[in-house]
Amino acid sequence: MYGFDGGKLVKGRKRQTIVDSLGLLLKVVVSEGNAGERVLAAYALMELVEERPELLEKVEVMWVDSGYDGDKFALAVWLMIQAHVDVIRRTDKNFEVLPKRWVVERTFAWFNQYHRLSKEDYERLPEMSEAAIYAVMTRIMLRRLAV
């Protein structure tokens, strides 16, 4: 019940995020814009397995968009966490809310509420961008606890 998405940034960087079914951030990896989405997603998943394996023990299905389609990526996910990869595809050229896909998109919308993460990437190092994303997500989660 987790998902991947690669949000593209203006200055040639990509954000790979792993979120839970509520849209809360589990892992983010910021990299150069020419890196492949599937490779970055496998790297992010590998780091998450290494850092917090208990988060992924009960995962049975990972929902991903069509950028992560492929047998090799599905095999990599299966070998790391024994989860099935379910690719959510568009069936129509018109706008439609895709099931489970909106969870990750909503997380990116939360990021866009903060100027530092919305349009430009002001950081020189990808690690600083990752830290800013974690800080924003921490603030979002703390505000939800306070309500």
What mean pLDDT do residues 38-67 have?
90
User: Which of 50-59, 62-71, 122-131, 138-147 bottoms out in mean pLDDT, i.e. has the lowest?
Assistant: 122-131
Instruction: Provide the 3-class DSSP secondary structure of residue 14.
Output: strand
**Domain extents for the chain?**
2-146
Fold of 2-146: Nucleotidyltransferase; domain 5 (3.30.420)
Instruction: Provide the 3-class DSSP secondary structure of residue 32.
Output: strand
* The amino acid at 50: E
On whether the CB atoms of residues 38 and 57 are closer than 8 A, the answer is no
Q: For residue range 19-30, list pLDDT tens digits in order.
A: 888 888 999 998
The pTM score is 0.79
Q: For residue range 69-113, list pLDDT tens digits in order.
A: 889 999 999 999 999 998 887 777 777 666 677 788 788 888 888
